[in-house]
Amino acid sequence: MFLVDLKMSVKEIKDEMEKGNVLFGIRQALKGKKKKVFVVKDVREETLGMLKVKKIEPAFLKLKDDVVKELGLDFNCEVFSIK
């Protein structure tokens, strides 16, 4: 587990969303190779366990509601992957 600059992380996700390089959800994060995987601070333990099994070290973001609001999403998501 590692922490990152929260403002840069959300900005990085936003920038990559515009390029179509962001995948949403745990299933997408577990498929293939990803440059980075981010999870919200209040991610479920079961989700972290799935990432750990695949040896994926996620960076932690803010709380889910805050991240969803900042990204302007109309759905909830705990895991964001940059491909």
State the CB neighbour count (10 A cutoff) for residue 80: 29
What does each C-alpha distance from 51 to 9, 11, 18, 63 come to in angstroms? 19, 23, 25, 18
DSSP labels, 17-64: HHTT-EEESHHHHHSS--SEEEE-TT--HHHHHHHHHTT--PEE-S-H
Would you say domain 2-82 falls under CATH 2.102.10.10? Answer: no
83 has pLDDT over 70: yes
Question: Which tens digit of pLDDT belongs to each residue from 29-59?
Answer: 999 888 999 999 999 999 999 999 999 999 9
Residue 58, sorted as left (phi over 0), alpha (psi -120 to 50) or beta, turns out to be beta
Compute the average pLDDT of residues 1-29.
84
pLDDT over 90 (residue 5): no
| Dihedrals phi, psi of 36, to nearest 5 degrees | -145, 150
